[in-house]
Structure 1
């Protein structure tokens, strides 16, 4: 029996909106969207996951869509470790003893972080799209090409960039979608269906903090100090991991996910899709599903 609807559940700081679909008794797979995006990014992938017996759980990240902070005095941090903690608290609230996670962009970073902290058993599979692990350090070395790719990071470090995020978010994000998908023209309808999620009252603050804090330009969340220390102490991931990267990604160059095997103690695979941009799940859903489904179907899930 199929169950498809939007629901809400509380974590320590959020009222998280999410969509759940697929077989009620299916193995749970949490799918996390990125920026600038929302849950609609997975629509073309879900049928393939349902068809192989998986139940999909797709939350809106903090600052997106109907997800809201529980308290007005909570700082709207967009710190990447906060996204990883959100995922684990979300799974706790749903009483998922074990689950797979698939993330794109911000969601990929959250999936890596949660997998690193929680480990294999709690998380059965980790699939990350368009992002390599070990790329969160503000002191990381980068090619000049990647420096150029990150122009929007640097722009949001300026007051005029903040004003753009706050006051012209649809123009800004539509431009991002256009340049990040060089070989694929995205329709206005598809963009508009997702852009409604950027009207969240916390979106701008979460976005600006997320990009500024990555480079030491904003204060970190003090409640995450222990969490961050655990990540820094041991960045190895024991969860079986699949990386899918578009070969023509103009946001995170494919080279940024190369040579990461040393961070993975479990099974590790990396697949590059030739000619595909930053949103492979939207642009090339069949190619993504053809890689993702066998990966998620391999190795029995731990007890739910």
Structure 2
């Protein structure tokens, strides 16, 4: 039975640090694809994509990331680490809890970073990855980009300044809404759609995870040492061996198309980049059928 019609999913999995809420679609006997959302978004970003995959016999697992929606930390004492290595471990822990060994990953924004990280730390478990709206950065590094891209990332610099972080804490939903308004062509969403997603930002740890993720990119921030080994493994990996599809919106207002060019040399087992005209930063919401078609073609072409 599909859980996609429910705004309060009943499916959860317990891991070492989290109770992860997730949606599931398709037969449990089918090939599995893990669908990972980005920021500021939630698992419902896949509502237009997952059913298309499940209709072909693919099982989809679609979690809320740590700090989002109904996913919760088990202990108040666990450090709220929002770095990609922590999120990648969450993904592996979820699949372990569900006893799924091999799977594909389709990730948007933060989810794309997680997909690249998983390809670095657990390539044997992955059939394919699809990364939406974010190019690969070897070693998971965060070099300061050219000025034009740096300007588009103003929100990251803003959060990295203490007074900016304080301002975000006062109106986190307003801050998130501004990104929706400026990262894709005007008029791409309605108020009801944003407000439904923004309920996921009411998670008590959303702000902490958001600030940890972005501030740790550009400054020395507190971290959970349990993820240090993963961090080192990602940092030591330049080329990825997992077949990869990258989908980019040509009208993306935060990840500029120029920043995702010329990545082919970092992939040793197949890489393809697709640019969607007139689409911004949220292709899963703006063009779900096109995304589903591209993902299905990628999965089909890498059947073994």
TM tier, shorter chain?
over 0.9
What is the deviation of 1:141? 4.3
1:170-189 alignment runs, 5 A limit: 170-189=173-192
User: Is 1:253 paired with 2:275?
Assistant: no
Of 180, 191, 209, the residue aligned with 2:194 is 191
Q: Give distance in 1, aligned partners of 2:128 and 2:103.
A: 7
What is the deviation of 1:299? 2.3
What is the deviation of 1:216? 2.3
In structure 2, the gaps of 5 or more residues are 4-8
Aligned counterpart, 2:81: 77
1:12-62 Cα deviation digits (max 9, x unpaired): 111101011122322111100000000110111122111211111100000
User: Is 1:145 paired with 2:148?
Assistant: yes
Equivalent residues, number: 298
Q: Give distance in 2, aligned partners of 1:167 and 1:60.
A: 23
Q: Give distance in 2, aligned partners of 1:38 and 1:160.
A: 26
CA contact (8 A) 1:248 1:277 kept: yes
1:161-198 Cα deviation digits (max 9, x unpaired): 22233221111111110101124431111111110000
Q: Give distance in 2, aligned partners of 1:272 and 1:14.
A: 36
Q: Give distance in 2, aligned partners of 1:271 and 1:291.
A: 8
Of 39, 45, 52, the residue aligned with 2:43 is 39
Deviates more, 1:3-12 or 1:170-179: 3-12
Return the TM-score normalized by structure 2. 0.94
User: Is 1:56 paired with 2:60?
Assistant: yes
CA contact (8 A) 2:160 2:219 kept: no
Partner secondary structure for residue 128 of structure 1:
strand
User: Is 1:164 paired with 2:167?
Assistant: yes
Q: Give distance in 1, aligned partners of 2:61 and 2:77.
A: 29
What is the deviation of 1:109? 0.4
1:130-172 Cα deviation digits (max 9, x unpaired): 011117423x241111110110001111233222332211111
CA contact (8 A) 1:79 1:221 kept: no
User: Is 1:127 paired with 2:135?
Assistant: no
